[in-house]
Amino acid sequence: MELHIQSEFDCVYSINGEFYERADSLTMSEYDVVYVTVFPLKHTLLPYTVKLNGAENVKTELAHGLRLSPDHYLLTLAPRYVIVYGNASNVAPPQSGRISRLFSLIKSGDVGAAYAMLSADLRAEIDKNTLADFFSEYEKIAECNWESGGKFYLIDKNGAAKLHSYSLKDEFIDDISECD
């Protein structure tokens, strides 16, 4: 099974004692116990450790771990501040792709800006309400940056993940569809 770690801030990781600059795709057994220590590169953030017990889901204020499919486990990390914990809900990680920005705009209520990210062909097929309704039942997005092809997971409030794909045309999102 592949472990994918995404964070909302620049950091390095110690995973079971080994240092990594990136942790997009690491191999682990679904029965492994994995310790992920996060070392932020910004002096106002604090390091912390998350314990993963195999492929169990994890949900804390700082870490959200979810088994996306039989072969993929995603751990999303939020920043830890000196006084107040951050919250990872509906925040796209830095350097996120277009689909994460689209999702964040819709969840923040800026459907007009999200609609402007669509190609003219797709805007001709759907309206703003249809776009907002498409994402309404989902709480999080996880781009599959470990592979090419514009794939991403939409995750609902129960932790169920559905694989989707999108395509671009002239730098605009031209199609979004659920994968089988």
Tell me the percentage of the chain whose pLDDT exceeds 90: 54
Residues 94-115 have a mean pLDDT of: 86
| Distance from chain centroid for Cα 139 | 11
- Each residue of 3-54: pLDDT tens digit? 999 888 999 999 999 999 988 888 888 888 999 999 999 988 999 999 998 8
Read off the tokens for 34.
């994995």
pLDDT of residue 180: 72
Domain-wise residue ranges, the chain: 2-77, 98-178
Tell me the percentage of the chain whose pLDDT exceeds 70: 93
Q: Among residues 44, 83, 76, 41, which one has the least CA distance to residue 62?
A: 76
